[in-house]
């Protein structure tokens, strides 16, 4: 019987089966299945989170930065940030709290992803009606960044003998521009250097979208509306995150799990439901950091051979 406990949880996570379907298959009550799934998911997170989703140390940050530099040609990057709306049934008496811009009900999974599609930080449970900036600013990750308790390595120059540059997280247009959080230049009327910067940042940032796509294709509960309370949704999402990291490896992610994208055969998957975009007023120091990255990407040490073709369509 205890073996069935794990079957209940993994079947719920890995398929689109409901509690009722699982209960019918094993001849048990729906409430029993719900209780077992929650208990197993809590045990998975409590036992495996310290091993597979630990808070990064300074050495781990350096390894992540080195991976982004070598694999995605974005130096000083320690993660890609994005959010995913996890669809749920409207909780009783919740009004429009969970109602998002897609006109569905959801909670938000905000995640920081490393260069190998593993999750390094997750913040689960924000209301679907909240904006990107509000979700990020209220997250544990943002508070740790502001309190300088993330053990992020000291600044280092992008070019030898140049001025030190902060280690940064890369995000999309919905993220605020901060000293340690880079976003694209807004608008479409951009000069060549800004377009190249946006391409290089997007190339590193979409790792988070890829990770969400792999997560959703592996744990197919994300393909449907979850008939769970917000607390139970947090529980099953945490379990899927830690199991994703446990299964993920450098040689494990293959073309069979995602689409193949353009010039450098980068993995890309569009499963992510994007969050709402909005404008922000960045600080001057954050603007200076972004300008430093822009200058680096068009300089001889920082340019890559295919960026002109990718940005301006000169490929043969």
Does 247 lie in the same domain as 302?
yes
What pLDDT is recorded for position 4?
Answer: 66
Does 36 lie in the same domain as 146?
no
Could you please report the per-residue DSSP string of 152-191? PPPPEESSTTS-EE--EEE--TTSPPBTTEE-PPPSS---
- Between β-strands 119-127 and 259-261, what pairing exists: parallel, antiparallel or unpaired? unpaired
Does 34 lie in the same domain as 115?
no
Does 152 lie in the same domain as 33?
no
Does 118 lie in the same domain as 9?
no
Does 302 lie in the same domain as 198?
yes
Helices then strands, counting H and E runs in the chain, come out as 11, 9
Q: What is the pTM of this model?
A: 0.86
Does 90 lie in the same domain as 28?
no
Does 183 lie in the same domain as 85?
yes
Domain count, the chain: 2
Does 46 lie in the same domain as 58?
no
Does 218 lie in the same domain as 106?
yes
What pLDDT is recorded for position 32?
Answer: 92
Does 118 lie in the same domain as 22?
no
Per-residue pLDDT of the chain (316 residues; tens, 9 = 90+): 455 678 889 999 999 999 999 999 888 999 999 999 999 999 999 999 999 999 999 999 999 999 999 999 999 999 999 999 999 998 888 888 898 888 899 999 999 999 999 999 999 988 888 887 788 888 899 999 988 899 999 999 998 778 899 999 999 988 889 999 999 999 888 999 999 999 999 999 999 999 999 999 999 999 999 999 898 999 999 999 999 999 985 445 443 444 444 445 444 443 333 444 444 455 778 999 999 999 999 999 999 989 998 888 754 4
Query: In which domain, by residue range, is 12 found?
Result: 2-50
Does 58 lie in the same domain as 139?
yes
What pLDDT is recorded for position 316?
Answer: 43
């Amino acid at each position: 019987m205890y073996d069935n406990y794990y079957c209940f949880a993994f079947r719920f996570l890995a398929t689109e089966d409901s509690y009722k379907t699982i209960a019918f298959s094993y001849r048990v009550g729906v409430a029993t299945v719900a209780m077992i799934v929650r208990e197993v998911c809590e045990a998975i997170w409590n036992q495996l989170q310290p091993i597979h989703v630990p808070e990064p140390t300074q050495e781990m940050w350096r390894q992540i930065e080195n991976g982004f530099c070598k694999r995605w040609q974005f130096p000083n990057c320690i993660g890609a940030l994005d959010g995913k709306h996890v669809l749920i049934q409207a909780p009783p008496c919740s009004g429009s709290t969970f109602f998002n811009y897609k006109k569905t009900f959801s909670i938000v999974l905000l995640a920081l992803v490393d260069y190998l599609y593993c999750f390094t930080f997750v913040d689960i449970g924000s209301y679907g009606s909240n904006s990107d900036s509000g979700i990020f600013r209220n997250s544990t990750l943002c508070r740790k960044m502001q309190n300088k308790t993330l053990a992020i390595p000291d600044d280092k120059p992008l070019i030898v003998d140049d001025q030190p540059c902060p280690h940064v997280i890369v995000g999309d247009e919905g993220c605020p521009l901060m000293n340690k959080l880079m976003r694209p230049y807004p608008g479409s009327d951009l000069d060549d250097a800004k377009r190249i910067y946006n391409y290089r940042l997007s190339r590193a940032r979409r790792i988070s979208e890829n990770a969400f796509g792999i997560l959703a294709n592996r744990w197919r509960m994300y393909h449907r509306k979850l008939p769970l309370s917000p607390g139970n949704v947090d529980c099953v999402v945490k379990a899927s995150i830690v199991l994703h990291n446990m299964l993920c490896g450098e040689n494990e992610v293959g073309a069979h799990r995602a689409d193949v994208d353009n010039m450098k055969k980068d993995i890309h998957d569009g499963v992510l439901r994007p969050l709402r975009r909005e404008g922000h007023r960045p600080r001057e120091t954050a603007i200076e950091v972004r300008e430093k990255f822009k200058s680096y990407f068009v300089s001889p040490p920082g340019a890559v051979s295919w960026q002109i073709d990718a940005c301006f369509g000169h490929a043969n």
